[in-house]
Every structure is written in structure tokens, then in C-alpha cells.
Chain A
Amino acid sequence: MSWTVVLIACATCYVLKLAGLSVPARLLEDQRLQRLATTLPVALLAALIALQTWTSGHHLVIDARMGGVAVGAAAVLVRAPFIVVVALAALTAALLRLM
């Protein structure tokens, strides 16, 4: 990973935060802006969950990660704290690889 890419990404994310604080508050009323802001992260995160669970490079795979994420999902459903979800997912994937 090149430093240029790291710094451009950091600058972009920071400028977004600063821009929000610097824009007049009345723009918050824009309904389309609100809907876009709530929908894009949902689509992106959902795509990333699928990609990180079932892909390796350009291949679709089923491995220990799926077990880990499934147990993590169960923990989310019973409203376990964030850190418990993450720990259970890692523990499950690690145990599956031992088997």
C-alpha cells in the first residue's frame, strides 16, 4: 500500500467531516440527501460483509470465516455487545480451523 493512497484517503475523509461542519444547517432539510446518506453505507457494508466472508481474490469460497460470521450474526441478533460479537466470530473461525 503506497503512502500517497493512504494520505489521499485520510485527507478525503477529513475534508468530508470538515465540510459537514462548515455547511449551513438548513441544507439538512434536503430529504434526498438524507436518504442517500443512509442508503449508501448500508449497500457498501452489506457488499463488504459478503465479499469478506465468501471471497478470496477473485474466487468465491466457503471456509471457516462463514462459521465465524454466522456465530457473530447470532450474537448480533441477541444484542450482544460489539466486542462480544467480534470475539465470538474470531473464536469460532479459529476453532473451525483447528478441526
Chain B
Amino acid sequence: MADALPAPVRRQVLHDALGIGIATGLYGLSFGAVSVAAGLSVLQTCALSLLMFSGASQYAFVALASNGAAAIATAALLGARNALYGLRMSGLLRIGGVRRIFGAQLVIDESTAMAIGRERDGEPASRLAFYATGASIYLLWNGLTLAGALAAGALPDPRKFGLDAVAPAAFLALLAPRLRGRGPLGIAVAAAIIALVLTPFVPAGVPALAAAAAAVASLAFREAAP
């Protein structure tokens, strides 16, 4: 199938895939450090990158490490959009059996975005973009997670290096493109305020879930409106 691709397109796709793999992989370095700083072992940190392989879910999971149920629920809620990416990608990839079992793990923000970005070059280019981006990020993300986890173990106090500012700044960078328009921005601000107001009074993890519930309620409210 790749034979149908003109060499320049093929080269460009692979080049982009490597570039985004490096950028995202470096973020894996900070994930490794943040996870160990949150109290997970190096092995658990690596298991998350190998098996969960979803940046936002992983960050949320370790941020809520003190409350197992909330950590699982929030990771799942953040991972739920991968299911919707999967709906989008199933028509492109058309895979079953073992290939679907392995291919599913590569369904993340970046691989989906790159596949959609290459649709103008045809399905073979789009498929190559999906697999090349997914594979490149998977390898670099996991390698650098291990490096970050080990390096964090050698640090006396991660806060000395500002590592505790890394996760919220990373979330902000991930979230920013989704905040265009009054609706999403309003929901984001409301969610932040709800979470902060609840923090002194409820168990860890609940503030984020309550904020998510408020967002669902606001959607239902808007649908009920004429």
C-alpha cells in the first residue's frame, strides 16, 4: 500500500511523525519525573506509559494518586475521547483481529490529528501518518518516561527544579486549542472555580469529577434550551 505513495509525501509524513514524536517524547521525560514525585514506583510509571499510553490520562492519574477510584475515573474520562477518535479512525484503518488489538493502543490525539491532516494526500498517506506518528510517539514516550523516572529518583526535591509547575503548564498547553469560543472557555473557567471551591471540603479527586459533572449538566441545559 505504501508503494502507491509518492516518495516526497512519504518522506514528509515520516519526518513530521519523527518531529512530533520527539516533542511529545520530551514531555514523557517530565511525566516520568512527575509520576515518581507523586509517589509511584519507576516500574508503575513505566507500566502507565506502556499500557495506558495517553498523556492527559496519565498526568491526571498520577495527580490524583491519593484516591484510587477518582484516579481511575478521571483517567477513563480523559481517555474516553480516544474511543471517539477510534470511531473516526476505524473507517480509515479498516483493521480487525490482532492488528486491531495492537493498532488500538496507538489511537491518541497526535496520531489522529496527523492522520486527518494527511487526508488530502489520500488514504495511504493518511494511514501511514497514523501508524508512523503512533509508533514514533510510543517508542520515544516510553524510552523517555523511563529516563525521567530514573532521573527524578536522583533528585533531592523535584520542586526545587520547578517540576510541580510542569503538569499544570502542560495541561494548559494541551487545552489551549480547545478553548476557542465563549462556550468552552466558560465551561473551563466554571470547572476551575468549582474544583477550587470544593477542595477544602471533599475527598481528593472529587473536585475534578464535580467540575466534569457540572460541564455535563451545562450541556444538557443547553440542549434543553430552544
With A1-B40, A68-B162 known to touch, is A45 a contact of B174 (CB < 8 Å)? yes
Q: How far is the CB of A15 from chain B (nearest CB, A)?
A: 9
B69 closest partner in A (C-beta) = A5
Given contacts A43-B214, A76-B172, A91 and B162 within 8 Å (CB-CB): yes
Is there contact, CB below 8 Å, between B168 and A65? yes
CB neighbors of A among B173-190 (8 A): 173-176, 178-179, 184, 187-190
Q: List 9 A-B contacts (CB under 8 A).
A: A23-B86, A59-B199, A60-B199, A64-B162, A73-B172, A89-B166, A90-B166, A91-B162, A97-B162
- Assembled-state Cα–Cα distance A36/B61 (Å): 21
**Most chain A CB inside 10 Å of its own CB: which residue of B24, B52, B56, B95:** B52
A18 nearest CB neighbor, chain B only: B104
Instruction: Determine the residue in chain B with the shortest Cβ distance to A3.
Output: B44
Q: A8 near B72 (CB under 8 angstroms)?
A: yes
Beta-carbon contact of A39 and B79 below 8 Å: no
Complexed CA–CA distance, A11 and B172 (Å): 26
Residue count of chain A within 8 Å CB distance of chain B: 75
Give the contacting residue for B215; candidates A9, A39, A94; CB below 8 A.
A39
**Contact across chains for A86 and B30 when beta carbons are under 8 A apart:** yes
Report chain A residues within 8 Å CB of B175: 41-42, 45-46, 49
Minimum-distance CB pairs A-B, first 10: A20-B86, A68-B165, A93-B162, A72-B169, A89-B169, A43-B215, A46-B188, A20-B83, A50-B192, A94-B162
CB distance from B122 to the nearest CB of A (A): 18
Q: Which residues of A contact B (CB under 8 A)?
A: 1-3, 5-14, 16-23, 25, 27-28, 32-55, 57-60, 64-65, 67-69, 72-73, 76, 81-83, 85-86, 88-97
Interface of B is mostly: helix
Contact status A9-B219, CB under 8 Å: no
Tell me, in angstroms, the Cα distance from A17 to B71 when the chains sit together: 18
A16: chain B residues within 8 A (beta carbon)? 76, 79-80, 82-83, 86
At the interface, yes or no: B90 with Cβ under 8 Å from chain A?
yes
Report if A72-B172 is in contact (Cβ < 8 Å); known contacts: A9-B75, A22-B90: yes
Q: State whether A45 and B171 are in contact (beta carbons under 8 Å apart), knowing that A5-B68, A20-B86 are contacts in the complex.
A: yes
Query: What separation, in Å, do the CA atoms of A20 and B65 have in the docked complex?
Result: 27
With contacts A47-B207, A64-B162, A89-B165 known, is A20 near B84, CB below 8 A?
yes
Which residues of B, 68-120, contact A by the 8 Å Cβ criterion? Answer: 68, 71-72, 74-91, 93, 95, 100-101, 103-105, 107
Give the residues in chain A near B24, CB-CB below 8 Å.
Answer: 82
Contact A12 B72 (CB under 8 A): yes
Complex CA distance for A49 and B52, rounded to whole angstroms: 21
